[in-house]
Amino acid sequence: MILYTVYITVPNELESELAKYMCDKHIPDVMATGRFVKAEFSKSDEGGFRTSYTAADRTSLELYLKHDTERLREAFAREFPYKVSAKREVWESICTVPGD
């Protein structure tokens, strides 16, 4: 599995608006591309946000990056044209250990 992780920093006054937009619009739009099998949106104790999208393989991620990111990033930028920064990382899952 390949994890495409996006870290978002936003001022406190935009946190609620960002969370609503991500859960109601942006993440569903990303998932509608069919390139990912799941997504998780989280907030840190320090106030930043993280979205981890799981792709079945690197090809799925590459297709997303080639065909879908520009449109989705532009839509995000229209909603949050300032005061929001994003950092992206790609991770490869080594193992998953289930709990009891």
The CATH number, out of the four listed (3.30.70.100, 3.40.190.10, 3.40.50.1460, 1.10.630.10), of the domain defined by the range 2-92: 3.30.70.100
Runs of H (alpha helix) within 4-99: 15-21, 27-31, 58-67, 69-79
pLDDT, one tens digit per residue, over 69-86 is 999 999 999 999 988 999
At 25, the amino acid letter reads K
User: In the chain, where are the structural domains located?
Assistant: 2-92
As a dihedral over the C-alpha atoms of residue 67, residue 87, residue 15, residue 53, rounded to 10 degrees, the angle is 50
Q: For residue range 19-29, list pLDDT tens digits in order.
A: 999 999 999 99
